[in-house]
A and B are shown apart, each in its own frame.
Chain A
Amino acid sequence: MALNWFKFASPASFYPIAGRLVPVFWALTIVLLAVGLYWGFFETVDQLGGNNPQKEYYRIIFIHVPAAWMSMWLYVVLVGWAAIGLVFNTRLSFMMANAVAPTGAIFTFLALWTGAFWGRPSWGTYWDWDPRLTSELALFFLYIGYIALHSAIDDTRRADRAAGLLAIVGLVMVPVIFWSINCPDPNQCAALHQRSNLMRIEGNILFSMLVMTFAFWMYSFATGFMRLRSIILTREADSTWVQEILNKENRA
């Protein structure tokens, strides 16, 4: 049996599916946030040891790392949808890319902002032009550039293609951000930002961090689908099925 995936690629048939999924993803977000925050505040140590003797402020990790991961992941998702849209000329893929961008930009900003507040007590500075910090800032500008370019072109189809191409070119930043601290030879990672290694994080801290990551991911789905639904309605405003929905809402 061959499932016809293109059936879901039509905005008209995906609109109600997205509508049913939004509350599911909100519920998952709330549950995961509650667990992650509780565990992060009450089941983890107050102070770290070894060569990283941070005090309470290390708990910023539960927001900072998930936000930074999502900022990179959502950019890959955005580029994926833009590439599918460019190849198959599917309207819904470009709408998906559009819906993801603001959430990605927010997470990038959140990663930079919480990083500044974490850097001050631990390193001694809010900001430094370190490779990791600088490349993450470039990613933020890429999100802003994508959104700005898309809204600067009136013709939606041309805007989709131009902004999609910009997004693909910007993909260059994602491996640079990753390897700016995770290069194989530690002597070449001349950075202020520490390397990352999940094996060297204590179990409770790691658990809270991962739960928060899934919470942020579910939040991305929820807000992404909400934004997608309004994008579909705006772009398909002239079609009969949207008119029917509007008429139904007016009668109710």
Chain B
Amino acid sequence: MKARQKRLAFVALAVLGVGAASALALTALKSNISYFFSPSQVIANEAPPDHVFRLGGLVTKGTLARQEDGLTIHFDVTDNAQTVKVAYTGILPDLFSEGSGVVAKGRLGPDGVFYADEVLAKHDEDYMPPEVASTLKTAHAEGVADAAAGINGASN
């Protein structure tokens, strides 16, 4: 082997090793990174008790309730399987709304309510003007309705 080929093999080996490390890191990320816990995980007691953690999910529609002090709000967070009640005192981010994604940081009380110190809003990857977005929504809704009608038609 010439010196240049040796160095090429060395660099190729290094890149291969880095690739393997990257793959390992990615699999580790998949199983271990608990950036937030879903309501299902919280109900299954997978979230740490007496410890600050993040709860992530969707704000259930129709559950947002402002309390009498005018600052505290209650809402439900769902992953469409389980639901966790959340209480938060403070200012909500601009994009926070019912039906959108949310990440709340806080701890679980003994009463099963999640007391949040911080509430962050998640948004999706659509960058569309309002009129286009609403057309898409209607089209989507019609598609769903058509699909439902199709299923009904088949069962009939």
Contacts and interface: CB of A to CB of B under 8 A. Distances in A.
B18 A124 contact: no
Interface of A: 45, 47-55, 58, 61, 83, 86-89, 121-125, 128-131, 165, 168-169, 171-172, 175-176, 179-180, 183, 188, 190-192, 194-197, 200-202, 205-206
Contact of B126 (A51, A125, A192): A51
Contacts of A122: 93-95, 121, 123
Contact of B123 (A47, A51, A168): A51
Listed from nearest, the 3 A-B pairs whose CB atoms lie closest are A49-B130, A124-B93, A50-B133
Contact of B7 (A86, A121, A128): A86
13 contacts: A48-B126, A51-B124, A58-B127, A86-B7, A86-B10, A87-B8, A121-B94, A124-B120, A168-B15, A176-B25, A176-B26, A192-B35, A206-B127
A50 B111 CA distance: 35
Contacts of B14: 165, 168-169
Given A124-B92, A176-B22, A202-B132, A48 B127 contact: yes
B134 A49 contact: yes
A218 B113 CA distance: 53
A87 B118 CA distance: 51
B18 A172 contact: yes
B29 interface: yes
B30 interface: yes
B125 A194 contact: yes
